[in-house]
Amino acid sequence: MAQQYNLCLDIGGTKILGAIFDEKQQSVYRLKKKTKAGGDKTDNVEQVIISVVDEMIKGFGIKKDQIHAISAGAPGVIDQKEGVVLFSPNLPWRDYDIRTPIEKRFGVPFFIGNDVNMGVYGEYCFGAAKGYRNVVGFFVGTGMGGGLILNGELFTGNLFKAGEYGHMVLDPEGPLCNCGQRGCLEAFSSKQGMSAYIRQQAGRGRASTMAEGVQGGVFKSSLLKKALAAGDTVAMEAVDRACHWLAVATGNMINTISPDVVIYGGGVIEAVGDLFLKKIAAEVDRYCMPSIRPSVELKCAALGDDSVLYGALAAIGQGKGKGK
């Protein structure tokens, strides 16, 4: 029998990253393609997904009957059981059944879950959280995502809506968050939050090498890394502020969950994770119970951009889809 392969996708508002995994769970082919998620049409992203899968099959030189399953992580609230995207902040999907057209097109099972849930699950199965039973994950990117592993199982809560602790309110009088609340962790510690702080300081006449990079939105993680290396005071203040509130949130999650490990992932952590981890660890003890803190490790994610892909792969193995 010909070797079977799993195709895994990380679906974002601006790009789709795809990888083919062989029967030994090794990545053997990769592809990245831009998406155009603007407007209210759902078929554009769907067609990009289909085209990415088609390109991977053709590029790697396999036949469709060699595909075992397709699996994906995407931003938003996703019904993993039915394969329905209930809401996605960066994609034009509302109560959208994405599973049916993909399974109809390729004739194999299709699994989909929230991207940060998949990222944390990937770290749990293959990365920095492997071997632990209870895991809290913070993924620091444009926004702030969260994911939980409880007693060895991915925890998604009622209607798959759990893990949104990027929107825990830490200061009711704090900055406005895109969710409509004030003082969320995301408003302080994500790239959006740090960019807003840098824009504010630049507006007061303070010099920063990142001032231009944040005018049109959020900075690139590589720009932050360069600014910190150059001794940019405003950039370091933004990082200090982000890490302070991440330490507060981490302490709250430690008290609530008593996890074995807290994992920090996402683009910012991939770029400057050692600095973030050092600053969070130096402060977190102030915000959690002394009797709980010694049993909790703090670690950076190990899989980088591939966390979501590996989580999608693990979801196939665990059958986290229809009828499960």
- Per-residue model confidence (pLDDT) at position 324: 35
Percent of the chain having pLDDT more than 90? 83
Count: domains in the chain: 2
Does 15 or 148 have the greater pLDDT score? Answer: 148
Co-location of 273 and 137 in the same domain? yes
- Per-residue model confidence (pLDDT) at position 323: 35
- Per-residue model confidence (pLDDT) at position 43: 61
Co-location of 110 and 206 in the same domain? no
Co-location of 139 and 9 in the same domain? no
| Tens-place pLDDT, residues 285-317 | 999 999 999 999 999 999 998 999 999 999 998
Query: What is the mean predicted confidence (pLDDT) over 64-80?
Result: 93
Distance CA 232, CA 251 (A): 28
- Reply yes or no on whether the pLDDT at 41 is more than 60: no
Co-location of 145 and 97 in the same domain? no
The mean predicted confidence, pLDDT, of the chain is: 92
Show the domain range for 147: 128-302
Does 41 or 24 have the greater pLDDT score? Answer: 24
Query: What is the mean predicted confidence (pLDDT) over 213-235?
Result: 95
Burial class (CB in 10 A: 0-12, 13-18, 19+), 4: middle
- Reply yes or no on whether the pLDDT at 163 is more than 60: yes
- Per-residue model confidence (pLDDT) at position 45: 77
Residue type, 184: C
Q: What share of the chain is helix, strand, coil (3-state, %, to 5)?
A: 45, 25, 35
| Tens-place pLDDT, residues 189-223 | 999 999 999 999 999 999 999 999 999 889 999 99
Task: Please give the torsion angle defined by the CA atoms of residues 148, 153, 158 and 161, in that order, rounded to the nearest 10 degrees.
Answer: 40
For 22, 169, 299, the CA distances from 8, given in Å and listed in that order, are 11, 34, 25
- The backbone torsions φ and ψ at residue 172, rounded to the nearest 5 degrees and listed phi first, read -60, -20
Is residue 217 helix, strand or coil? coil
Task: Please give the torsion angle defined by the CA atoms of residues 282, 291, 184 and 234, in that order, rounded to the nearest 10 degrees.
Answer: -10
Q: What is the CATH number of the domain that holds 146?
A: 3.30.420.40
